[in-house]
Amino acid sequence: MALLEIKNLTVLRESETGQKTLVSAISLHLPPGAKLAICGESGSGKTMLCRALVRLLPRGFRLTGEIRLESGRFSGKIDHADQQVLEFIRGRIIGFVFQDIPASLNPVLKCGRQLSDVIATTQTLSRTELATALEDLLVSVGFENPRRIMDAFPFELSGGMQQRVALAMALAGKPEILIVDEPSTALDAIARRDLIDLLNRRCQETGLSVIIVTHDLLNVHKFADHLLVMYAGEAIESGPAANLIEAPHHPYTQLLTAAWRALLNNQPFSPNAPEFTQNVPGRGCRFVTRCPNRRKVCLEESPPMTVSAGGRCFHCHFPSK
Amino acid sequence: MVESLLSVENLTAGYPCTPGLIGKRQNYRPVISGISFAINPGETVAFVGPSGGGKTSLAMALAGFLKPESGIIRFRGEKLDDQARGAPRKIQLIFQDAGGALNPHLNIGAAIAEACAKNLSKRECLDQVMHFLQMVELSAELIERYPAQLSGGQKQRVCIARALAAKPELLILDEPFSAQDLLIQVQLTDLLRHLKSTQKLTLILIAHDLLTVRSLADRVGIIARGHLIEYEPTAVLFSQPRTALTRALLEAAELDV
């Protein structure tokens, strides 16, 4: 049974000049304890997809399709749920760590105060219980000296520490699903590894499901068991992470893994693919303008979803074997 | 012996801070202290280290945006003092946030033209802009676009083109890759490698990603808590790290998956 089930989720931005599709018809299901990574280039809709899951889309954005939660505390559709339901779900069932960590922490409140506010909204505790809960929470995200962190303002902490405070905040309501949006971009190698280790441990100990948005294939390799690759709003390929990185079918995923391998082996990378272009075609395959193996049919027909062995799915007319 | 392009001796810099009550005498909090190193012409040097260690402040001090408290910065043997700084534009800094560094109301052509020499005719200026766009492998049609219409990697390239238009001898890039996706990272790495060989540029790179550092840098410096704790040729640093921090960084990056 799936904890989170998404069917045909589409996010549109409506303006005077017409509407633009930012995420188009994505379906996925997340079983309890799953670790899903979402990869794709900047602007491909990864963040919008995640924000749609907690219904935190900016003004003027609309979503269609179905988002269904099946948890012990709540089951039902949330794609058009009212504010009351959403308030219950956010933090309690789905926790969210935003991309821009410094902006998601209040600069004028000490970390301890911010965290206890979050704990207090999700649980009814006495003062002493609250203090213990706060300390336990900070220890659980890897702080050895929680009292020091409670007493610190966000700006007094390093990037890695702020990240862990934000993580603690997302975990304060004991959610069953945690969404982490690009956690490692501003972190050094040690802080990156510690974060991934921490998430892995959390998943093992509490059965948490995690959706992680990342550019770093090392994160995917070390953490995720499932990978979804997005391009121009579409899920172009998905499947078990190790298998997908090893043998990608879609030409975009191939470019991505080839680039990563070139870096790993310290070799130059020269793809035989055209440059990035802003123009995503209205019909046909969305990757056609950059695809090295395009043919006539790619310009005219959008490729259907192909399901292959081992739970792999991809959208391409001429996949590589 | 080759004369070094840039040499830094005992550089200390920081930001003023006022502790306690308003109006109290300003105190000085150094973020980099006692940093010394030298860079030869044509070399690429990368500075790596934990966040908050002072890497960006070092870049700011070298580019003249942060006034050193003490220490000497020499460029081609000449001391860079307050007056000389900024004037020759021989040192160009590309900021971490490429999007934020571009004026949103100025199209790409105008942004690059601003950095070109001032005494050019309109025609010559356009030629120059085209030349620099080509150098960073951007198509000429971008000239009329605005920053909002470009991808992150393209904005980063525009910033590089703009810096090149000032004809620098030393280019400092502050975390050029951290906000980019993997493909763009790799393409930018290739571009920098190419520019390094064709333009005889000296590069200072501030980065977190050790894979790109390994593929691009000739020398690597590790900066932690404001000190330069290690400064070695890349191959030496990656094979025989001396300090515990360097070892930990290399181990965490898992360079051999």
pLDDT digits (tens, 9 = 90+) for B55-87: 888 998 898 888 888 899 988 888 877 555 555
Return the pLDDT at B37: 95
pLDDT band at A66 (very low <50, low <70, confident <90, very high): very high
Residue of B149, B182, B252 with shortest CB distance to A189: B252
Residue B24: the pLDDT is: 57
Q: Of B51, B139, B215, which has the smallest distance from its Cβ to A159's Cβ?
A: B51
Q: Which of A132-136, A207-211, A213-217, B40-44 has the lowest average pLDDT?
A: A213-217
Residue B178 to residue A276, Cβ atoms within 8 A? no
Q: How far is CA A111 from CA A150, A164, A180, in A?
A: 5, 11, 19
Which of A272, A273, A271 is closest to A290 using CA atoms? A273
DSSP per-residue string spanning A196-237 = HHHHHHHHHHH--EEEEE-S-HHHHHHH-SEEEEEETTEEEE
B46 in Cβ contact with B206 (< 8 Å): yes
Q: How far is A260 from chain B (nearest CA, A)?
A: 7
- Average pLDDT, stretch A195-203? 91
Best probe of the A interface among B211, B218, B256, by most A CBs < 10 A, is: B211
Strand ranges across the sheet with B27-39: B27-39, B6-17, B68-75, B78-79
Verify whether the Cβ–Cβ distance A41 to B181 is below 8 Å. yes
B185 to chain A: which residues are within 8 Å by CB? 215, 259, 263
Per-residue model confidence (pLDDT) at position B190:
85
With a CB cutoff of 8 Å and minimum separation 6, the contacts of A141 are A164, A165, A167, A168, A171, A198
**Mean pLDDT value of segment A280-304:** 85
Partner B contacted by A262 (CB < 8 A): yes
Q: Which residue would you say has higher pLDDT here, A276 or B250? A: B250
Nearest Cα neighbor of B222 from B239, B208, B201 is B208
State mean pLDDT over A298-319.
Answer: 89
Nearest CB neighbour to B186, from listed A187, A218, A259? A259
Given this model, what pLDDT does residue B83 score? Answer: 55
Query: What's the confidence (pLDDT) of residue A170?
Result: 94
CB contact under 8 A, B253 and A189: yes
> Domains (ranges, CATH) in chain B?
6-252 (3.40.50.300)
Residue B20: is its pLDDT beyond 60? no
Q: How confident is the model at residue A64 (pLDDT cuts 50, 70, 90)?
A: very high
| pLDDT exceeds cutoff 70 at B149 | yes
Q: What's the whole-model pTM score?
A: 0.86
Per-residue pLDDT of B151-167, as tens digits, reads 777 888 899 999 988 88
What six digits make up the tokens of B160?
């590089």
- Tokens, residue A299: 């310009």
Distance CA B158, CA B145 (A): 11
Cβ atoms < 10 Å from Cβ of B78? 10
Rounded-to-integer distance, Cα A250 and Cα A315, Å = 7
Measure the CA–CA gap between A247 and A12, rounded to whole angstroms: 32
Tell if the CB–CB gap between B211 and A259 is shorter than 8 Å.
no
* pLDDT value of position A229: 95
Neighbours of B34 (CB within 10 A): 14
Total Cβ atoms within 10 A of residue B226: 22
Say if residues A155 and A107 touch (Cβ distance below 8 Å).
yes
Residue partners of B245: CB distance under 8 A and separation at least 6: B49, B50, B222, B224, B229
Q: At A288, list the tokens.
A: 């056609």
More confident residue, B21 or A132: A132
* Three-state DSSP state, A114: helix
> How far does the CA of residue A43 sit from the closest CA of chain B (Å)?
8
Average pLDDT, chain A: 89
CA distance A239 to A36: 10
Cross-chain Cβ contact A160/B257 below 8 Å: no
| Enclosing H/E stretch for B195 | helix B182-199
Per-residue pLDDT at A275: 59
**B184 DSSP assignment:** H
Q: Could you give the maximum distance between any two Cα atoms of chain B, in Å?
A: 58
Q: Which residues pair with A237 in a beta bridge?
A: A229, A314
Q: Tell me the C-alpha distance between B183 and B36, whole Å.
A: 35
pLDDT digits (tens, 9 = 90+) for B86-125: 555 788 888 877 778 889 899 999 999 988 877 788 888 8
For range A277-284, the mean pLDDT = 68
Q: Is A14 helix (H, G, I), strand (E, B) or coil?
A: strand
The tokens for A58 are: 């900016």
> Model confidence over B187-230: pLDDT tens digits?
888 888 888 888 888 999 999 888 889 989 999 999 998 999 99
pLDDT of residue B26: 61
Q: Which of A157-166, A262-271, B124-133 has the lowest mean pLDDT?
A: A262-271
CA-to-CA distance for A256 and A39, rounded, in angstroms? 10
User: What is the tens place of the pLDDT at every residue in B164-184?
Assistant: 888 888 999 998 887 777 887
Which residues in chain A are contacts of B192 at CB distance < 8 A? Answer: none
DSSP-assigned letters across all residues of B134-178: HHTT--GGGGG--GGGS-HHHHHHHHHHHHHHT--SEEEEESSST
- Tell me what ipTM this predicted complex has: 0.78
Strand order in the sheet with B170-174: B91-94, B170-174, B202-206, B44-48, B219-224, B227-233
Q: Per-residue confidence at A273, pLDDT binned at 50, 70, 90?
A: low
Show contacts of A134-140: CB within 8 Å, 24+ apart: A137/A168, A137/A171, A137/A172, A138/A168, A140/A168, A140/A171, A140/A202
Residue type, A162: Q
